[in-house]
């Protein structure tokens, strides 16, 4: 304990007298006065403390000088420990103030130190007495250590001593009206109480003891806590040593661990316990009983005696409250006898039968690993001689109508399916859709038919294909269509027309036969009739054709149709007099369908137009797959589908055209302090944006809250107090 009072030393001794020495010759040392070595210095310190820097009184606290121009005082700068009396500090009575710089102050200030409300002289007197620090302060005081510093931390506050010698006491009385031994009042504590040293001080002694202790919640003694209806130990163990625990009440707990014996007194059958509980007890027959909540009493231990060796015992069939032997024997060789039936799962073994007990249940024999099911002899009364056997529904085997006799001849098949071929009656057909039937002799063998060969129906089938033709056709009679015919001899006579024939020749009849010749003198164009008839619609008619014309460039895949103004090196223009439109209108299903003007490798150079570009779509990319910027493509515009922005090629890079804007109303409920809004629908990166919040219900007044872009997609709105409930408009501009 740090002492905060010190004994006054005598100012002279028997060999020293003040009339023979000056006052500064008398030594004086006190730890509270560092640097003070004689009585003269000590008196100077006392005068400075008892009579500090007292300054003239002021009227009100507002008149206390602070170093600036103060009404009624002027520009006066206080010094530390200046003391002034304020004649009226707001209650019409005086108070005293001191200029101090306390812990935590950035600058000195006036502190009210006394407010006795008795007048200036009483305040001054009280101040002087208080500076001596020899009284107990009713309203508290900060004691100081031997160096004069204010005590802090555990020792902070006021210290009171009962005596000034060892083994003296501090005795507190509730009042002075009680006589000796009378206790009508109380010494009261209005705050928590604690010792200054842990595990050292006692409350009472072995001979001076408190009578009763009253505690509302708990008492903590080491690891033990005594509280309402509970004794708890932080170690999990409450040890009564070798003392007895006696009670006529109940002992309730989760687990009882007994390291010794339990001695139970014999009793009669007790009262039925409450629902959910059972009673265990010994009766005078030395047996342990259990009584359940329904009042049923049963033996806990059962006794059984039998003269039959190796019998298997069971609970009896009338309630199971006793042990009864069965007729089944388990001998010393682990052999069971006496069983009449065994039920295992859904199987029953009874007599010579293995029976499945579930309705329609199968009986499965499953060897372990590669083992086999061995049946010495298997008979079935439902099979027919020489018939093929197949499994039917339910896993049963039965005879079919197909016979295999001793000569290995099969009969009784009504339909035969081999891969994709089916033989059914007189028809051989393929079972796969559009499948061919191919006859393939071995080597140079031929496919020979012994009857006429004809199609199934008239004029429906061909002999050969355009890509699969026969080589030679050998006929002996004629070729006809059923009504007309031509003999083979007549047909072969056309071979004469090939005599002397050359490329470009055609056949002309000379009166007796057909001769080949180039059409020249035989044809006179002037004598050809119908030259002006438009009966060759496969050719383009330059003067136009009724109903319009269609021009196709080629007949093979990827052929082109080329329009060229002139075969001369100096080209003109391909001019259209009317609108140039596609044959089929473009349409969108899962993607755009239609015809293009130019393609990925054939670009028009410049397009001159004075009309509107209706339905024009900008080339689509994403912001991560923009094409490479080029000085050759300055002004090229593309659209990014992921962030919905237009980009323009400046020659060195693609820049965003215009701004991105997110505008959406947010609802606050009057309690929200934080709201996070996803703005990525219109904003690429919220961290590059200007953000503003407006009050919809107050003429869209700007709300100055904390607005953060916590990432590229989200804006967080934070307020220190909840906004009034209602809509607020969030505007984000990129």
Flag the least confident range among 171-185, 215-229, 594-608, 619-633.
171-185
Chain centre to alpha carbon of residue 342? 56
Q: pLDDT over 70 for what percent of the chain? A: 87
CA–CA separation, 273 and 253 (whole Å): 17
Q: Of 132, 129, 92, 94, nearest to 112 (Cα)?
A: 94
The answer to whether position 709 is within a domain reads yes
Higher pLDDT, 53 or 84: 84
Q: Kindly state the average pLDDT of the residues 104-132.
A: 68
CA–CA separation, 617 and 641 (whole Å): 12
Q: Which domain holds residue 713?
A: 661-733
pLDDT, tens digit, 9 for 90 and up, residues 454-507: 888 888 888 888 898 988 888 888 888 888 888 887 777 766 666 667 787 887
Flag the least confident range among 12-21, 34-43, 403-412, 557-566.
12-21
Buried b or exposed e, range 50-70, using 16+ CB within 10 angstroms: eebeebeebeeeebbbbeeee
Residue that has been written with the tokens 């820097």 in this structure? 53
**Edge to edge, what strands does the sheet with 427-430 contain?**
415-418, 421-424, 427-430
The answer to whether position 328 is within a domain reads no
What is the pLDDT at residue 93? Answer: 83
- End residue of a domain, out of 105, 120, 155: 155
Whether residue 691 contacts residue 709, with contact meaning beta carbons closer than 8 Å, is answered with: yes
The answer to whether position 680 is within a domain reads yes
Confidence of residue 13 (pLDDT cuts 50, 70, 90): very low
Q: Phi/psi at 394 (nearest 5 deg)?
A: 80, 5
Whether residue 594 contacts residue 586, with contact meaning beta carbons closer than 8 Å, is answered with: yes
CA–CA separation, 679 and 690 (whole Å): 12
Q: Kindly state the average pLDDT of the residues 563-587.
A: 90
The beta strands (E) that lie in 16-108 are given as: 53-54, 69-70, 74-75, 82-86, 95-100
Contact partners, residue 417, CB within 8 Å, separation at least 6: 423, 431
The answer to whether position 9 is within a domain reads no
Does pLDDT of 372 surpass 90?
Answer: no
Q: Of 89, 151, 153, nearest to 123 (Cα)?
A: 89
The full DSSP string for 186-206 is -----S----SSTTT--SS-S
What is the pLDDT at residue 4? Answer: 34
Flag the least confident range among 106-110, 527-531, 565-569.
527-531
Contact partners, residue 183, CB within 8 Å, separation at least 6: 174
Q: Which residues is 288 bridged to in the sheet?
A: 282
- End residue of a domain, out of 132, 155, 178: 155
pLDDT, tens digit, 9 for 90 and up, residues 293-342: 898 888 776 556 677 788 878 876 665 566 778 778 888 888 888 888 88
Confidence of residue 616 (pLDDT cuts 50, 70, 90): confident
Confidence of residue 713 (pLDDT cuts 50, 70, 90): very high
CA–CA separation, 297 and 279 (whole Å): 9
Structure letter (DSSP) for residue 231: E
Confidence of residue 113 (pLDDT cuts 50, 70, 90): confident
Higher pLDDT, 318 or 244: 244
The answer to whether position 615 is within a domain reads no
Q: How many domains, the chain?
A: 2
Confidence of residue 224 (pLDDT cuts 50, 70, 90): confident
Does pLDDT of 696 surpass 90?
Answer: yes
Which of 69-83, 136-150, 569-583 ranks highest by mean pLDDT? 569-583
The answer to whether position 191 is within a domain reads no
pLDDT, tens digit, 9 for 90 and up, residues 63-86: 898 877 655 555 678 888 788 888
Q: Kindly state the average pLDDT of the residues 678-701.
A: 90
Q: Phi/psi at 490 (nearest 5 deg)?
A: -65, -40
The answer to whether position 711 is within a domain reads yes
Structure token pair of residue 523: 């044809």
Flag the least confident range among 188-202, 249-263, 345-359.
249-263
CA–CA separation, 294 and 275 (whole Å): 8
- End residue of a domain, out of 99, 125, 155: 155
CA–CA separation, 511 and 119 (whole Å): 166
The answer to whether position 353 is within a domain reads no
Confidence of residue 48 (pLDDT cuts 50, 70, 90): low
**What does DSSP say about strands 53-54 and 82-86: parallel, antiparallel, or unpaired?**
parallel
Does pLDDT of 569 surpass 90?
Answer: yes
Name the burial class of residue 684, with classes exposed (0-12), middle (13-18) and buried (19+) by CB atoms within 10 angstroms of its CB: buried
What is the pLDDT at residue 668? Answer: 94
pLDDT, tens digit, 9 for 90 and up, residues 535-547: 888 888 888 898 8
In whole numbers, what is the pLDDT of the chain averaged over residues?
Answer: 82
């Amino acid at each position: 304990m740090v002492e905060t009072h010190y004994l006054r030393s005598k100012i002279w001794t028997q060999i020293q007298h003040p009339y023979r020495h000056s006052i500064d010759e008398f030594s004086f040392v006190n730890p509270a006065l560092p640097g003070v070595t004689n009585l003269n210095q000590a008196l100077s310190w006392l005068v400075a403390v008892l009579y500090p820097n007292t300054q003239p009184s002021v009227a009100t606290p507002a008149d206390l000088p602070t170093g600036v121009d103060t009404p009624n005082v002027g520009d006066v700068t206080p010094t530390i420990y200046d003391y002034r009396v304020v004649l009226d500090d707001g209650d019409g009575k005086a108070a005293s103030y001191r200029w101090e710089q306390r812990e935590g102050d950035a600058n000195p200030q006036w502190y009210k130190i006394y407010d006795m409300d008795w007048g200036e002289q009483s305040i001054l007197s009280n101040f002087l007495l208080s500076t001596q620090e020899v009284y107990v302060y009713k309203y508290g005081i900060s004691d100081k250590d031997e160096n004069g510093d204010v005590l802090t931390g555990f020792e902070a506050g006021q210290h009171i001593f009962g005596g000034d010698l060892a083994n003296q006491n501090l005795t507190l009385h509730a009042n002075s009206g009680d006589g000796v031994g009378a206790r009508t009042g109380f010494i009261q504590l209005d705050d928590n109480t604690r010792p200054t040293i842990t595990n050292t001080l006692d409350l009472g002694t072995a001979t001076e003891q408190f009578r009763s202790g009253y505690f509302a919640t708990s008492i903590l003694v080491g690891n033990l806590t005594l509280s309402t209806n509970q004794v708890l130990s932080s170690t999990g163990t409450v040890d009564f040593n070798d003392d007895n625990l006696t009670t006529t009440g109940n002992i309730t707990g989760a687990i009882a661990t007994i390291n010794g014996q339990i001695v139970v007194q014999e009793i009669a059958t007790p009262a039925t316990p409450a629902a959910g509980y059972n009673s265990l007890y010994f009766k005078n027959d030395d047996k342990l009983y259990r009584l359940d909540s329904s009042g049923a009493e049963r033996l806990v231990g059962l006794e059984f005696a039998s003269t039959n060796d190796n019998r298997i015992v069971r609970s009896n069939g009338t309630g199971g409250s006793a042990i009864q032997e069965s007729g089944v024997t388990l001998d010393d060789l682990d052999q069971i006898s006496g069983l009449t039936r065994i039920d295992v799962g859904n199987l029953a073994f009874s007599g010579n039968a293995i029976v499945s007990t579930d309705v329609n249940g199968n009986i499965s024999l499953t060897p372990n690993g590669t083992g086999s099911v061995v049946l010495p002899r298997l008979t079935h009364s439902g099979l027919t001689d020489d018939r093929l056997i197949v499994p039917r529904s339910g896993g049963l085997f039965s005879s079919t109508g197909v016979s295999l006799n001793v000569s290995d001849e099969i009969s009784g098949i009504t339909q035969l399916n081999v891969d994709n071929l089916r033989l059914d009656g007189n028809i051989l057909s393929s079972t796969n859709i559009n499948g061919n039937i191919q006859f393939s002799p071995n080597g140079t063998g031929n496919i020979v038919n012994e009857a006429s060969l004809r199609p199934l129906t008239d004029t429906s089938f061909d002999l050969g294909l355009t890509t699969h033709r026969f080589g030679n056709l050998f006929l002996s009679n004629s070729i006809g269509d059923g009504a007309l015919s031509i003999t083979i001899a007549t047909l072969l006579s056309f071979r004469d027309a090939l005599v002397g024939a050359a490329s470009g020749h055609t056949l002309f009849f000379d009166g007796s036969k057909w001769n080949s010749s180039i059409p020249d003198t035989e044809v006179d164009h002037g004598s050809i009739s119908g030259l002006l008839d438009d009966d060759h619609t496969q050719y383009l008619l330059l003067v136009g054709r009724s109903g319009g014309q269609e021009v196709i460039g080629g007949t093979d895949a990827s052929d082109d149709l080329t329009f060229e103004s002139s075969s001369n090196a100096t080209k003109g223009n391909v001019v259209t007099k009317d609108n140039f439109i596609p044959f089929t209108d473009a349409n969108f299903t899962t993607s755009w369908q239609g015809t293009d003007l130019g393609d990925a490798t054939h670009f028009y150079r410049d397009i001159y137009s004075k009309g509107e570009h209706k339905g024009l779509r900008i080339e689509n990319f994403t912001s991560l797959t923009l094409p490479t910027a080029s000085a050759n493509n300055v002004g090229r515009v593309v659209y990014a589908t992921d962030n919905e922005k237009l980009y323009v090629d400046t020659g060195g890079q693609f820049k965003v055209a215009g701004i991105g804007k997110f505008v959406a109303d947010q609802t606050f409920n009057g309690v929200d302090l934080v709201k996070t809004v996803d703005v990525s629908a219109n904003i690429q990166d919220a961290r590059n944006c200007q953000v503003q919040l407006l009050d919809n219900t107050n003429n869209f007044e700007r709300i100055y809250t904390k607005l953060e872009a916590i990432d590229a997609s989200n804006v967080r709105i934070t307020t220190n107090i909840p906004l009034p409930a209602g809509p607020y408009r969030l505007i984000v501009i990129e």
